[in-house]
Amino acid sequence: IMPIAQFAGERSWGYNPSHIFSVEADYGGPLAFKQFVKRAHEHGIAVILDVVYNHLGPSDLDLWQFDGWSENDRGGIYFYNDDRAETPWGDTRPDYGRGAVRQYLLDNVRMWLEEYHVDGLRFDGTSYIRSVNGPGSADLPDGWSLLQAMNSLVTQNFPGRITIAEDLQNNKQITQEVGAGGAGFGSQWDSNFVHPIRQAVIASQDEQRSLAAVRDAIDYRYNDDAFDRVIYSESHDEVANGKARVPQEINPQDPKGWYAQKRSTLAAAMVFTAPGIPMLFQGQEFLEGGWFRDTTPLDWDQSGTFHGIVRLYRDLIGLRLNRSGFTRGLCGQFTQVFHLDDERKVIAFQRWDSGGPRDDVVVVANFLGEPQEGYVIGFPTAGSWKLRFNSDWQGYSDAFEGHPSGDVVAEPGAHDGLPAYSALSVGPYSVLIYSQ
């Protein structure tokens, strides 16, 4: 959930918090949010809340020049009063080195977890907490130690809750444990995934799609844990600020048409099969178009119009969670991209936890706008492999061809560095998921 702390005005993304201990009244206030979390939990849905600590306001700040003192016309005792005050959102960075400020922010972390029972926190723009002016600028040691203190508080007092950093600077220390010198976050948003995957499906010509970049996006990890990263093809930042939803970027003239449907769901299949914590943005599951703005509600009628696309996302979620008991590998730590054909635009990779039947998963993705017939790839073991998912199934959309992909029998014999192989058929801009 995007930030809900009280802000100036009636509508906002929430990244201009004036009173971080208050829930925005125009969005329902504190009781409504508690009820929301309770109902979400009753439906088995965890709630992760976005919080903003890299600046406050910049307007409607009761803490500004609180006792009348300030320097350089800055914020006074609770804010930096030199160049450390400066952020892209206003010169209102709290003084992370002041004990009262640190306790104020730590208490805010505790409040959301203790009083509102949220299941985790996503920290906005952490590079502007740990450095003076964001990427490439001087370190801000007080900010780094504050992040460590916040994560230590969560780890020690709220086991099972998660903290997620929006850092986007490929910094492995963000998700290293505090005891090892890291910031201690449980995961972080991964720009190494979203940008190459979006580019691979948004590019207008097939020859512009780089499968080497797709491979690197699949393989990337920050530390030893594959789930140190949150992966996605849409977020509030990626579908605004001059950018639009993936279907809109694919075909601005026809964002609900064949190309938009096929290639946006191709990106979604990568999100749910690559290692990491998958994330969707609101409305993505029914082809919400245009660009995101806080004044326009979702068109929920589209979930009925595109009920097949909703089912496609539901099926991918089920496979990712191993609800059938046959795709444990999608929950596992291990990944091997064993096939990459940049000419025919086919990539295949294996996911596994312990390996073997019900565990090994093979994902085949066709980034070409034409079907691939009799296409040979390797398999981890010989024998029958069941097709668990075909994104070209006509049940997902009347626009899809329903290419006749199916189960395969892998024969013994080395191929792609694996001990077995089989020919298969895959539709245009489609993904197949196999397991035993």
Please give the pLDDT value at position 214.
99
Please give the pLDDT value at position 396.
99
Residue-wise pLDDT tens digits, 247-266: 999 999 999 999 999 999 99
Cα–Cα–Cα angle for 416, 418, 423, nearest 5°? 65
Please give the pLDDT value at position 136.
87
At residue 389 the predicted structure's pLDDT band, cuts being 50, 70 and 90, is: very high
Q: Is the pLDDT of residue 134 over 90?
A: no
CATH topology of domain 328-435: Immunoglobulin-like (2.60.40)
Beta bridge partners, 333, equal: none
Residues of the chain above pLDDT 90, percent: 98
Q: Is the pLDDT of residue 30 over 90?
A: yes
Which one-letter DSSP state was computed for residue 87?
A: B
Task: Please state, in angstroms and rounded to a whole number, the distance separating the CA atoms of residues 81 and 71.
Answer: 6
Please give the pLDDT value at position 362.
99
Task: Please state, in angstroms and rounded to a whole number, the distance separating the CA atoms of residues 384 and 382.
Answer: 7
Q: Is the pLDDT of residue 334 over 90?
A: yes
Question: In CATH terms, is domain 5-320 a member of 2.40.70.10?
Answer: no
Cα atoms in the Cβ-side hemisphere of radius 13 Å centred on 249: 23
How far are the Cα atoms of 53, 231, 272 from residue 280, in angstroms, in the given order?
A: 24, 9, 10
The chain-wide mean pLDDT, for the chain, equals 98
Residue-wise pLDDT tens digits, 139-195: 999 999 999 999 999 999 999 999 999 999 999 999 999 999 999 999 999 999 999
Which tokens hold the place of 199? 């580019």
Q: Phi and psi of 226, rounded to 5°?
A: -65, -20
Intervals of CATH 3.20.20.80 along the chain = 5-320
Sheet with 383-390, edge to edge strand ranges: 334-341, 346-352, 361-366, 430-435, 383-390, 408-415, 418-426, 372-379
- Of 153, 230, 157, 160, the C-alpha closest to 191 is 230
Helix or strand holding residue 373 (H, E):
strand 372-379
Intervals of CATH 2.60.40.1180 along the chain = 328-435
pTM to 2 decimal places: 0.96
Q: Phi and psi of 28, rounded to 5°?
A: 120, -20
Length of the chain: 436
